[in-house]
Amino acid sequence: MTEEYKPTLRRRFAALVHKAPLMIDCPEFEALIDDYIDKNLSWRAALRFDMHLMVCRECRNYLAGYRNAINVAKTLVDVPFSSMGMGEISDGFVAKVIAQQEAEFRNK
């Protein structure tokens, strides 16, 4: 190892954990995110999810953006759109709000 690059303890831990047999990857993280938020994961699956959160900054940001998008969508649902002549909120609209929030958090 060169003198210029000395991995921090956190980087060493992250590299070790990513090699662990029970570690999930980012696509699996995305597949489990709804169950994690709804607290529908087993304790073991939740532990694996939390371990991935500890070492993956992108997924931490993704989770924060996802939660923020859910909160925004919930506030929009509470608005009586029908009384404003707008009818129901479409699934497409909610998907656009979630995508926009995720994009904002990924760019931070």
Whether residue 85 sits in one domain with residue 99: yes
Backbone conformation region of residue 87, classed left if phi is above 0, alpha if psi is from -120 to 50, else beta: left
**Computed from CA positions of residues 50, 48, 64, 12, in that sequence, does the dihedral angle turn out positive or negative?**
positive
5: CB partners within 8 A, 6+ apart: none
51 & 61 share domain: no
Same domain as 70, residue 35: no
My answer on whether 93 and 47 are in the same domain is: no
Per-residue pLDDT of the chain (108 residues; tens, 9 = 90+): 445 656 676 666 666 655 566 788 889 999 999 999 999 999 989 988 998 998 888 999 999 999 988 888 877 765 555 555 555 666 777 788 888 888 777 776
Cα 28-107-60 angle, rounded to 5 deg = 35
